[in-house]
Amino acid sequence: MIKDTNLSTSSIFFDDEDVQWQFRQSQELNITLKGLFHIYKEEKSHYKLSELSFSQPYIIKQSKKQGFKVLDITNAIIEKVKNNIVGEGILVKRNKLKFYMYGQIEKWIETFQELCVQINFHEDYFLYRLISNSQQSKVYFAEYRSTKIDYAIKVFEKNKFEQEIGPKAMKQEIEILRLIKNEYFTKLLKIYEGNEAVYLVFEQQRGGDLQRFIKDNENTLTEKTAFQAIKQLLQGISEMHNLNYMHRDLKPENILLKNKDSLECLIISDLGLAEKVNNEKKQLFTFCGTPGYVAPEILKKEPYDQKVDIYGIGIILYILLTGYNPFQSFIKDEIIQLNMIGYVNIDKVNCSELGKDLLRHMLQVSPNLRPTANQALRHQYFRNQSKQDTFLKKTIIISKPQIDSIHSEKISPIATNLNFDQIKAQPNLNFDKFKAPLIKSQYLRQATPRIDNYQNNNVNQVKKFRKAS
């Protein structure tokens, strides 16, 4: 368990920038808080009563000469302070600037928590169980001491940061989490920093992850449930793409469940490799993602964009329908090689023809032939679904009939005889070529045999890789 003390050194969020109050026109500001505060001026050692306002991300004070002055408090350190004369207050620190405000601070502290960094994590929370451990971070369950409510805590240990890349990636993850405000992504509640680590506080999802859900049950999902789960991922990723970001590490382990017995509410997590899309399609890392889920263009070191997330969602859909990853080998390098080729045979997937068509388009090797998230949501498969369709717990897992395994033919990573002309000759992207027939009952998936030991061992060998360019 991490042993840490309150921050007494310089914050990892600080830089050499000279932070000052800036003049701003009032019509540009959306005021959400107002109040009278005693402002302590350190240079003059006296207090002044002033009216302060807040418009995210600015504290606003009135200037006699030029209207309003604003202070951007994004990633500033905040802590409660107390004075015998003026009572409780907030100290705001950003780089070399310090700002003291004393008064009715309860609502202000609550509002600042979304933007700022606090320093008293172990006074507020008790870490009690390690959930996951990666090269970049650890995730714990923790209890909030005052309310006894449990939360998930993502911990970045400072001594394990990869020089400048580690802090930069962490700050970018925080920035994206603040921007994305929808039901399909984990919600960042608070940020803390100590001398040894940075702590991100999230709501606790008690359902585990999608990988565990598949592993804990002998059967995969019905076709209807699998596609409704994928529809949620597409809706969430669509909103992320609209903000000009991409996830780049979509896989079952990064999909959380609110209820362990149901897929009616999926949450996309772990934005550690998320990146902003720019016109040059510049890559932050030469390789990025997890073998078996990476879009081929990343492994080929080609410029890429948000279509890489569509390929990852396609692989997840393939696993939900078949019970195994299409790229299988005991050797990591061979998984990467198969993944780089990128071709997935859809013909033996047991689902409707419309379902196969959508899956085939999502797993196109060429990103130009893949749909966007919005285009995938407009596919005829989803158009055919009734708006009244809902998740029923009893339809998630069903009894397994005696059927022949469709997994008997495994891909040989050594002797792979692929006709590349056939691979490249994929059908053109046309989502409107089908009419809207009802999905016949014989096409609805009934069950999939249990993942065998070969596949389980293979899953354990697939680890995230990340190499600085």
With beta carbons less than 8 A apart as the criterion, state whether 220 and 324 touch. no
Place of tokens 């009690």: 128
Written as one letter, the residue type at 312 is: G
Separation between Cα atoms, residue 79 and residue 443, nearest integer Å: 60
* Burial tier of 285 (Cβ tally within 10 Å: 0-12, 13-18, 19+): middle
CA-closest candidate to residue 31, choices 69, 58, 49, 50: 58
Query: In the numeric block, which tokens belong to residue 430?
Result: 């046309």
Query: In the numeric block, which tokens belong to residue 280?
Result: 């040059």
Separation between Cα atoms, residue 419 and residue 412, nearest integer Å: 15
With beta carbons less than 8 A apart as the criterion, state whether 29 and 22 touch. no
With beta carbons less than 8 A apart as the criterion, state whether 362 and 372 touch. no
Separation between Cα atoms, residue 449 and residue 138, nearest integer Å: 33
Written as one letter, the residue type at 215 is: K
Residues 6 or more apart whose CB falls under 8 angstroms from that of 296 comprise 311, 339, 340, 341, 342, 365
Asked about 249 being catalytic, the answer comes back as yes
Catalytic residue among 249, 270, 309, 357: 249
Separation between Cα atoms, residue 175 and residue 354, nearest integer Å: 38
* DSSP run (H or E) holding 67: strand 67-72
Place of tokens 């921007």: 179
Separation between Cα atoms, residue 193 and residue 119, nearest integer Å: 5
Which of the residues are catalytic?
A: 249
